[in-house]
Chains A and B, each alone.
Chain A
């Protein structure tokens, strides 16, 4: 199955529908092409049953939440495409759908990185990855401690190891919600969800640390290593 497919819609507009636009949309325009990439669910390559120390029901609910982000990303994009075609892009409603796109889109994509790095019982630590993080943190253990510390920060969001393509550096970032704090152009390498939905059902409100420890035992480090340029 193709992961994504382009949806193209040709919509006929009445004269003057986009009259206030720039040169792209002229008053006499009768047709406008609105294209967006339709997102589909990324299927799991493993079974939740196999993840050690992590509750299957909780993981299934989490995956259902991920599907919600895919649906809502598509919904937001289709609403925008329809409104644009109908000449309603200069409205408050359109602006607020656009404002929300970052939340839904990042929510979708970060969950794909997250579920994509898990594997029943994990894998041995990749040597290339170990060298890369050791160059910045001194040792593998120091990086594990720092990403855990990042993930233990108060509030809900994500702890992410990012690669900076400009300095070729690595750094751990805290992301509020899904969309606040992602550095532009950086490559997400290790992506850890610490929203309450990721752990509270199994580990309780104070169980974030236990969740992180359990999750780290189910990481496919070769997938993480492949994300490094």
Chain B
């Protein structure tokens, strides 16, 4: 998106989730809004620096460090949107066996259970970041990835299919830090599989 783009914070009709308190959701939405605000702010500041069609050599450092921060703020904004989009208060736990996701997980991992064990263990990894199930747009294959912070580890061009926030803010009000696995369990019970399924893209390999 260009420098003149102004992002608007989205809202979600999410409350009364299983094992994720309304207070956590409330602060989480606020934090998300912070990423939107700061993405817009970076764009504004960069636009100002570059408005004459060239960069004042004395502003190179300022330009560079603002640009360097794009990865953090943009990913912080976008990943939260995927996260809230793949939650629902009417979660069913695991996806149905005839769903596109279930089949894709089977095709990529041998079984849905293996995919799930892999994803959960990514979510338990030490440090702050995200567990993301990505789909390779060429082969249709799923793979689970650890993302440090927001910006380190995202695979270029891959499609985020299931996105789980494991920053401390996502669970620390509801669980002691050592109980992250309980939050992950709660997260699973609130997954909006319909939304997840709709993110999958059909490829020749995936259809086969």
Contact = CB atoms under 8 A, between A and B. Distances in A.
Interface string A25-61: 0000000000000000000000000000000000001
A205 B127 contact: no
B44 to A, nearest CB: 16
Interface in A40-95: 61, 64-65, 68, 72
Interface stretch (B101-109, B134-142, B173-181): B173-181
A196 B126 contact: no
B168 interface: yes
B128 interface: yes
B49 to A, nearest CB: 19
- Tell me if A's interface is mostly helix, strand, loop or mixed: helix
B27 A205 contact: yes
B169 interface: yes
Given A64-B178, A155-B149, A201 B172 contact: yes
A206 interface: yes
B31 interface: yes
A155 B75 CA distance: 12
Given A65-B177, A200-B169, A201-B172, A177 B72 contact: no
Interface string A144-187: 00000000001110000000000000000000110000000000
- Tell me if B's interface is mostly helix, strand, loop or mixed: helix
A14 interface: no
Contact of A205 (B30, B148, B149, B176): B30
A196 B27 CA distance: 12
Contact of B168 (A72, A177, A195): A195
A204 B177 contact: no
A11 B38 CA distance: 55
Contacts, number: 53
B66 to A, nearest CB: 12
B83 interface: no
Given A103-B126, A195-B168, A205-B30, A154 B176 contact: no
Contacts of A61: 176-177
A103 B31 contact: no
A204 B27 contact: yes
B167 interface: yes
A48 B128 CA distance: 26
Interface residues of A, number: 21
Contacts of A227: none
Contacts of A177: 127-128, 148-149
A196 B178 contact: no
Contacts of A4: none
Nearest to B126: A72
A154 B72 contact: yes
29 contacts: A100-B126, A103-B127, A154-B34, A154-B38, A154-B69, A154-B72, A154-B73, A156-B128, A156-B149, A156-B167, A156-B168, A176-B149, A177-B127, A177-B128, A196-B128, A196-B168, A196-B169, A196-B172, A197-B168, A200-B27, A200-B169, A200-B172, A200-B173, A201-B173, A204-B27, A205-B28, A205-B30, A205-B31, A206-B27
Interface of B: 27-28, 30-31, 34, 38, 69, 72-73, 126-128, 148-149, 167-169, 172-173, 176-178
Interface of A: 61, 64-65, 68, 72, 100, 103-104, 154-156, 176-177, 195-197, 200-201, 204-206
Given A65-B177, A104-B126, A154-B73, 17 more contacts: A64-B178, A72-B126, A103-B127, A154-B69, A155-B149, A156-B167, A176-B149, A177-B128, A177-B149, A196-B169, A197-B172, A200-B27, A201-B173, A205-B27, A205-B31, A206-B27, A206-B30
